[in-house]
Structure 1
Amino acid sequence: MIAVAVQPWCPYTAETFPRSHGRVSLAEVLTTYTLLQDGTGAPQIAEAFGDPGDERVRGVVAASIRLLGRQLLEGRMKAYARPIGGGEPVAIPAGAWELDDFVLRFATCAIDPRRPFDATATPTHSIFVDDAAIDAIYGLFAPEGLSRPRAQRAPANPSNDAPPESPDARSAPELNRFLRLDEVERIVGIKRSTIYDRIRDERFPPQIDPGSRPALWRESDVRAWLADPR
């Protein structure tokens, strides 16, 4: 099995994302999510984690990684490991995402499936995600009238890879949009000072990561509060 030293964030500086039949690179999933959420593309992701990095972008990317990582851990997105250089993909079990921090795995988009929790293991496989993840992200977050570019779809190549999953196995993941503070104010009709007062009183959902900038909320949490304000 080929083992390659993969430098963190280099998958985001490549000219194109790798392809696999019925699957897309983990780097493409993260980039699509941040691009539609915040206008942050692949080069900006790589630059944000450089030295010096952009703290604002780094906060947005880190929050996106935590959300997408949870989808993988809970089995809502299906991940696959394909040997570096090409070969038969194998499913990555959801339990292999039982990590304290998803950032390093998203940074390299690679894994040694035999040692998924060994940070010192040299990767042997690239990580891909079921193609339905990209369609789900576009369906939830793309501006009206913007559809997924045809070029982003993985080309059919059944000679190299396993057949695509059945429709049931490829169900769209339950992703969640992030809201900035000004969007939260507009939706709930409450000013920021009141929002933070209610958070302190445990009467409003807190932001995802209180230490990150910009402050971000899950839209589902805000909508749930609207249905039952307190």
Structure 2
Amino acid sequence: MTIRGVGILLGMAALGGVLFCLFDRHWRISVNYNQPGSAMPTVSYHEGLWHRCSNSYNLGGQSNCAKMMEAINHLPSELIFQRGFAVFAAIAGGIGVLFGMASAQRINFASKQKDKNCCATLAGVCYIVTAACIMAAASWSASHTLKDSKWDYGIVNTAGYNIIYTIGADIYVGWVTGVMALIAGCIMIFTSCNNDEYDDEMEYNTTQYAPPNTYNSAGTRKEYC
């Protein structure tokens, strides 16, 4: 496998990670802290970009999720920015995968080597944009979650115990995905700088034409130098 092939595979894996973070529901999870003598918690919470969920311990950990139906002006600004960064990361990653596939030697979407290198450059730029967006979304979410443990948008605790949130698995996946996308982008841009051969632009006419009269009167072939 070529170095560019590794970059293409890393870019595809990064796109998968972005889509996972975009739709998964574990960007932040609740950690229950009880005061002595207070009631034990019976419900835990976890939230994504589009849903908030609760797990009931009394029902064997059954999860109940609800879509965030609030108007956009009623949602926290940090959540709106996280959604925007994640969506842009998915769009850029998808475009990067398309350009990356077009730059592959075994795919004839771009027939000329120069065009393949151009596609590789565009794929690299898209992967770097993907890395910046998904890491921004993950870092922003982690910062606000750890800074304000009471940051929530609709969950009201009526069970008599405190709910404190911590960062969930999706944030770690976002950071790892960002690193993968960044590496993929660097690989694609590096391989696009290899301009040693442009065989498709150099067309040589190798047909040799013999003189019209190649035989003498005796029927023997004349040799031409």
Fold shared, TM-score > 0.5 on shorter chain: no
- Which protein has the larger Cα radius of gyration, Structure 1 or Structure 2? 2
Normalised TM-score (structure 1): 0.24
Normalised TM-score (structure 2): 0.24
Higher relative contact order structure (alpha carbons within 8 Å, sequence separation ≥ 6): 2
